[in-house]
Amino acid sequence: MVGSSPRAPEPDGRVDTGPSLWLVLGDKLGDNAQVEIIADALGWPRQRKRLRFLQRYAVTKPVFRPSVRHVEQGLSDPLVPPWPDLVLTVGRRPSMAALWIRKQSRGRTKLVIVGRPRRMLDRFDLVIATPQYRLPDRPNVLNLDLPLMQVDDARIAEATERWRERFRSLPRPLTAVLVGGPTQPLILDAPVARRLIDMIERSPRAGEGTLFVTTSRRTPPEVVEALAESLPTGGHLYRWDPAATDNPYSALLGLADRFVVTGDSISMIVEVARLGKPLAIFPLPVKSASHRRLRKLVAGLLRPLADGEVGGGVLRPLSDALYNLNLLTHPRDFSALHRQLIERGLAVELGDPFPSRPPQAPDEVARVVGRIRALMDRR
């Protein structure tokens, strides 16, 4: 059996410490953190393969296929044999390289991806899917209730001590408003930002305490200005700055009494939920083009048939073929995560009373580790 503890010595005296493991990582820190959480829990020795991508793919997306043509070779860690037993990866561009690695190993390397493959769902040995990705039920899909994100207690504690005196004089309760930015298919523009502040002011007990709004890397300048203009008397606004050395975000996680988070930011929502702090989610309006609505409708009609809910799954091959041709997508649904949190009592929708004592958020890491160990036991 493969485990985190070393096996008995081999005849030549070596000790097998488990499968050889590569973490194939991109440039998104939140994505990479989820892979690191799994690797830490597995306890197997690992190599990190950090990839940088060609500038022309900074905005445009490469065609999804097993390939490293989109990788900036001179700035990336080398992908050379001996090929690993297992690859953990996340994201579109790193997973293309992971598929290429599997091809070079002649199929020996097992692939585990966090999130939603853009195509080729069946090429991955395990897909770890979170609620915002509505993936079908398959033997190689593990659907989680919450994303794999953990709280950095040391970071929060250090920031809390640095900011404690600056926050001491602010009237309580201190309400932290964490603002993300637009992302397909969600809209966050100036009118939406003004509506956010208006809804907070009309919420129960809105006139109490202090409002502290902080923006992020993805917040557009016009949204920042709309927030500044709409801020109530006594409110505070932190404008995110890449050069700043004293961002209050981590301190707010430790010192704020309650939180409002825009619905686009999965990482901020989950971090607050895992802290057990009162949380209200501000869902963003959806921009849906006609072709996207059609694809979503087709996906909704095919899913019950493909997953066996109706007709024993007779249309599963058709569903998979359309998905691999990129004619059918499993859309990203932020509201699915919101619903999970609200149903569990971990959050409310903005406008409803804050929960007084949110329960403990579930820890999904053990489920993931168990599936990966079982996968590698079958080698």
DSSP string, 138-161: -TTEEE-SS-S----HHHHHHHHH
Round the average pLDDT of the chain to a whole number and report it: 86
Predicted TM-score (pTM) of this structure: 0.78
Lateral strand order in the sheet of 236-238 = 236-238, 210-214, 174-178, 258-262, 279-282, 348-349
CB 88 within 8 A of CB 23: yes
Domains of the chain: residue spans and CATH: 21-148+364-377 (3.40.50), 153-286+335-349 (3.40.50.2000), 290-331 (no CATH)
DSSP string, 323-365: HHTTSS---B-HHHHHHHHHHTTS-EEBTBPPPSS--PPP--H
Distance (Å, whole) CA 291 – CA 152: 41
Residue 281 has pLDDT above 60, yes or no: yes
Residue 204 has pLDDT above 50, yes or no: yes
Each residue's pLDDT tens digit, 42-82: 999 999 999 999 999 877 789 889 999 999 999 999 999 99
Q: Look at residue 304 in the predicted model and tell me its pLDDT.
A: 57
Each residue's pLDDT tens digit, 243-257: 998 899 999 999 999
Whether the bond between 362 and the residue before it is cis, its omega within 30 degrees of 0, is no
Q: Look at residue 172 in the predicted model and tell me its pLDDT.
A: 95
Mean pLDDT confidence for 87-106: 96
Q: Look at residue 120 in the predicted model and tell me its pLDDT.
A: 86
Provide the pLDDT confidence category of residue 300 given band limits of 50, 70 and 90: low
Which stretch of DSSP H or E encloses residue 178? strand 174-178
The span from the first CA to the last CA of the chain, in angstroms, equals 10
Whether the bond between 204 and the residue before it is cis, its omega within 30 degrees of 0, is no
